[in-house]
Amino acid sequence: MRLPIEVLHQCWFLAGPTASGKTATAIALAQRLNGEILSLDSMAIYRGMDIGTAKPSAKEQAAVPHHLIDLVDPHEEFSTAQYLQAAATACEEILNRGHVPIFAGGTGLYLRSLLRGVFEGPPADWELRNELQQQAEEQGPTWLHQQLMAVDPVTAARLHENDQRRVIRAIEIHRLTGRPASVQQQEGPLPAEERPQHVYWLSPPRDWLYDRINARVDSMLAAGWLAEVQRLLQLPNPPGRTARQALGYKELLDWSAGEIDSFETAVDLIKTRTRQFAKRQHTWFRNLEECHEVSIPADDLVDTLLHLSD
C-alpha cells in the first residue's frame, strides 16, 4: 500500500532531523504554494502530547491548515498502515480544494512508507507479543533487541533497543513467517522517471543543530512540559507503550516513577538521546535516495526549495 503515483507527484515532502526548523519552513512554503501541511511525526498523532513533540502551536495551525495531528489518545496504538490511509484521505481532500499537500516532519519510516509503500505483514499475534513482553521484563531491556539481532540484523541495526513495539513486531514477523522483516520490506524506490520531484531533507551542521536541540529542551521545560507529562499520568487511560517511549516523555516518566535519581539527570538524558536521535535521522534521510539534501542554515530556505523545484 502506498500513495498513488499521481498523488505523489502533486505533493511536497520536507523532512529533516529534530530542531532543524521544519515547521517554520513548511509554513512559509505553504503560504507561497497555497498549501496545507500534513504532519510526518509519529508522536504528533497523540492528543495531549503537545509541548514535548514540538507540535505546531495554535497560532501556527491557524496560519496554515495542518493535518494528521491529534488522531488518537496516548493509550491507543496507531500503525504505519493506518497513518498511510489517513494520509491518503487527507491528500485527496486537500487536492479537491485545489491546494498543495506538504508533508513535513522527522519520522523517516512514515516518509519511506509514503514514497515506497508499507509492508503490512501477518496479523498481530497478541499471545506471542505478551509472551515476548513478559520475557523482556524478566531478562532486561536489551534482551529483545538481542533476539532480533540474531534473526534479523538489518532491522535490528535500524531500530533502537528502546523501541520495544517495533522490535517485538519484527520478531513476531520472523516467528510467524519464518523470514526476516527486512527481506519482506525490501520494496525499492520507484524508477527515477516516476519518482516525485519535491522530496527534500534539511541538513544542518552538527554543532548548530545540537545547540538548537539543547536550547529547545530547556524551552519546552520552561513552557510546562513536566506539567503536561503529569497530566497524562492522571488520564483514565494512561499513555500506552508507544507513547511512553517518545523522546523526553520516557525520561520524565521514569524520573516521576523514581527510576532516574534526579531531575537534572533526566534533562541531561533527554538532551543526549535527542542528539543521538537526530544523528540517526540524518543517516536515515541521507540513505533514502528519493530525498534531495538541502544544506541549512540558508539565507532564504523557501526560495532555495522553490529554485530547486524548477
Residues of the chain with pLDDT under 50: none
Per-residue confidence (pLDDT) for residue 125, from 0 to 100 = 87
Could you give the CA distance from residue 23 to residue 19 in angstroms, rounded to a whole number? 9
The domain made up of 126-184 is a member of CATH 3.60.15.10: no
Q: What is the pLDDT of residues 193-220, one digit of tens each?
A: 788 889 999 999 999 999 999 999 999 9
Return the CATH architecture of domain 5-118+195-309.
3-Layer(aba) Sandwich (3.40)
pTM of this prediction? Answer: 0.81
Could you give the CA distance from residue 127 to residue 135 in angstroms, rounded to a whole number? 12
Per-residue confidence (pLDDT) for residue 228, from 0 to 100 = 97
Could you give the CA distance from residue 30 to residue 24 in angstroms, rounded to a whole number? 10
Per-residue confidence (pLDDT) for residue 185, from 0 to 100 = 62
Per-residue confidence (pLDDT) for residue 279, from 0 to 100 = 95
Concatenated DSSP letters of 220-242: HHHTTHHHHHHHHHTSSS---HH
Backbone angles phi, psi at 134, to 5 degrees: -65, -40
Strand residue runs (E) in 158-297: 199-203, 292-295
Could you give the CA distance from residue 55 to residue 64 in angstroms, rounded to a whole number? 14
Cα angle value 121/124/130 (rounded, 5°): 135
Asked whether the beta carbons of 237 and 206 are under 8 A apart, the reply is no
| Every domain of the chain and the residues it spans | 5-118+195-309, 126-184
Per-residue confidence (pLDDT) for residue 189, from 0 to 100 = 72
Could you give the CA distance from residue 120 to residue 146 in angstroms, rounded to a whole number? 23
Could you give the CA distance from residue 274 to residue 162 in angstroms, rounded to a whole number? 13
Q: Where are the alpha helices (H) located in 9-159, listed in sequence order?
A: 22-33, 58-63, 80-96, 108-116, 126-139, 143-151, 153-158
Asked whether the beta carbons of 22 and 110 are under 8 A apart, the reply is no
